[in-house]
Amino acid sequence: MSSFAASHLSPSYPDRAAWGTAPKLRAWQQQAFDLYFRREPRDFLTVATPGAGKTTYALRIASELLANGVIRAITIVTPTEHLKRQWADAASKVGIGIDPEFKNSQGATSRDYLGVAVTYAQVAMHPALHRARTEARKTLVIFDEIHHAGDAKSWGDGIREAFEPAVRRLQLTGTPFRSDDNPIPFVGYEEDTEGLKRSVSDFSYGYGPALDDGVVRPVIFLAYSGEMKWRTRAGDELAATLGTPLTKDQLSQAWRAALDPKGDWIRQVMEAADRRLTEVRRGVPDAGGLVIATDHEAARAYARHLRNISGEGATVVLSDDPGASNKIKQFAASGDRWLVAVRMVSEGVDIPRLCVGVYATSTSTPLFFAQAVGRFVRARKRGEMASVFLPSVPTLMGLANEMELERDHVLNRRPPEDGLDDSLLEDANRKKDNPDVLGDELPFEMMETSATFDRVLFDGGEFGTGAEVGSAEEEDFLGLPGLLEPDQVATLLRKRQSDQQAARAKKTESAPPALAPHEQIAELRRELNGLVGAWNHRTGQPHGVIHSDLRRACGGPPIAQATAAEIQERIDKIRQWATQRR
């Protein structure tokens, strides 16, 4: 039995240690550690949800292999420069010297180090050099977020050439899927019943089990819709309501208008997020917030908004800033309220005090979304809860509802659904000087935007009945305590939902209808169609099937002949479905 092994460990521990340096292993880490040394494999793929503690686990394995003489050197491969330093800092705390400043031009590093930390791009530029280093000593290669090794075919070929001679390879990822068919080096694939090849992990620990164990925080998503108006280059004035069924072009332009720093939508959402942060800090005094922006110009504008909203300056981290790593490190150690980043703080970056986020970017790949949300789930003690604000866009709503879904990398698959493959992650993390293009829309001028609270998403359920910004209904959700267990979150959300529905029903009974009958029915049909659209994205069922299911459940004629009361009953029924865990 390893000297590092421990028995009867609880799934979590009360206070989170420095990144990668926990004195004891969590239950999942111990299980994966024991499995690794039972098998003594050359390759081992560990899939663990962001925030679960992959670094601690990997460094413990490295320490054991060094102590047993199985390896004499370590190479750590990461997606970004910042993560090289983060790994080196963590390794130094457990007595392993890693050089994060190693350059290809050096050829060798100081004898003070047991290894180096390099990026995937760095290896791909000179694979022969890294192969020679790997052959020179018995080497363990730790691949952090191994899916990046398939970012380009040339990268994959270079990674294979460089590290084929390694005596041990440990692959780590929190998101083992990609948006393309590039195979991931040193990862095994098996053919499924449909003839598709799926990646196979040796050990997997998803968000759902991690949440049950108290290893990660529960995340509530607060979605905001609203009215958007803009003028096209041709001079046409257009309007759309975010959160209602829209064409692809309408959605892309409305989304872009919502994120425009000159409009009220993003300012109102950031005001709500700042109020939420204030509430969270009552129970978590050092809680911080992160706004993930699309481009440099927007990031600076968002920071100005936050200064006006909170009275405090925000730390801005840009991808071409040579001091970005130091800024992130300083923010992590401070008690400052807000950090604004151009999407680069999306993967591996460790700021455990981040509890509130604003998803203000148009990047919508499942990979990027999962890694961005992963910045908020890193638990320090039980009860801490994370809150992420996002626009009511079907793709994002679907991803938020699929937090617990475990994906594999699939080769030779069919073309992805529209909207799920709009960019690769390396594009999401590179320097962005210009706004993203969502679809093929023409340049336009944002005229007017405004936000309304739409709903809360948690654990596969949807809560809330829609409300104006600043209303008591919105405050019901913004004012949730910052320290809650997952079951308490669900209970409280259901109570908020029930109270709001009861209050709305009472108000409807006591007040005369403000709309003419045809207007009331048209309004209810719009609301029902919007909910059906959201349910379609969540379940994949066609709209017609959903309407038929509602009619069977509630009775009554087809929607065209239904009364206002019958439509309202169907609205209540589909909202009831949405609050039930899948």
**Tens of pLDDT, residues 173-209:** 887 655 556 678 888 777 766 666 777 889 999 887 8
Average pLDDT score over residue span 513-528: 76
Residue 147 CA to residue 181 CA, distance in Å, equals 11
The most confident of 103-112, 314-323, 499-508, 534-543, by mean pLDDT: 103-112
Residue 37: pLDDT above 70?
yes
CB 376 within 8 A of CB 180: no
DSSP 454-496: EEEEETTEEE---EETTSHHHHHHHTS-SB--HHHHHHHHHHH
pLDDT given at position 280: 92
| pLDDT over 70 (residue 145) | yes
Q: Express the helix, strand and coil content of the chain in percent, nearest 5 each.
A: 40, 20, 40
Helix, strand, or coil here: 115? Answer: strand
Mean pLDDT of the chain: 80
389 in Cβ contact with 359 (< 8 Å): yes
401-407 average pLDDT score: 59
Q: Which pLDDT score, from 0 to 100, does residue 132 have?
A: 95
**Count of residues making up the chain:** 582
The set of residues, in sequence order, having a beta carbon less than 8 Å from that of 354 and lying 6+ positions away, is 287, 288, 289, 290, 339, 375, 376, 378, 386
Distance CA 464, CA 471 (A): 12
In this model, does residue 24 exceed pLDDT 50? yes
Residue 194: exposed, middle, or buried by beta-carbon count in 10 A (0-12, 13-18, 19+)?
exposed
pLDDT band at residue 293 under the 50/70/90 scheme? very high
Model confidence pLDDT, tens digit, residues 226-254:
999 988 777 788 888 888 888 888 888 89
The pLDDT tens digits for 462-481 are 887 778 888 888 888 888 87
Q: How confident is the model at residue 6 (pLDDT cuts 50, 70, 90)?
A: very low
Q: Which of 463, 534, 522 is nearest to 243 (CA)?
A: 534
pLDDT band at 444 (very low <50, low <70, confident <90, very high): low
At 341, give phi and psi (nearest 5°): -135, 150
The secondary structure of 89-101, three-state, reads HHHHCCCCCEECC
- In angstroms, the CA 86 to CA 527 distance is 48
According to the model, what pLDDT value does residue 417 have?
38
Closest CA to 90 of 110, 111, 62: 62
Contact call for residues 86 and 166 (beta carbons, < 8 A): no
Task: Return the structure tokens found at 263.
Answer: 């409009």
Buried b (16+ CB within 10 A) or exposed e, 501-530: eeeeeeeeeeeeeeeeeeeebeebbebbeb
Q: Compute CA distances 412 → 13, 181, 298, 368, 525, whole Å.
A: 42, 6, 37, 21, 41
Between CA 137 and CA 412 the distance in angstroms is 37
Nearest of 450, 392, 469, 453 to residue 263 by alpha carbon: 450
pLDDT at 555 over 60: yes
Residues 6+ apart with CB under 8 A from 350: 19, 86, 332, 378
Distance between CA atoms of residues 82 and 85, nearest Å: 6
Q: Which of 255, 353, 397, 322 is nearest to 85 (CA)?
A: 322
CB-based contacts of 387, cutoff 8 Å, min separation 6: 219, 220, 221, 222, 273, 276, 280, 355, 356, 357, 376, 480
433: which residues sit within 8 A by CB, 6+ positions away?
Answer: 295, 296, 297
At 386 the three-state DSSP class reads strand
For residue 302, count other CB atoms closer than 10 A to its CB: 25
CA atoms within 13 A on the CB side of 161: 16
Measured between alpha carbons, how far is 355 from 337 in angstroms, rounded to an integer?
Answer: 10
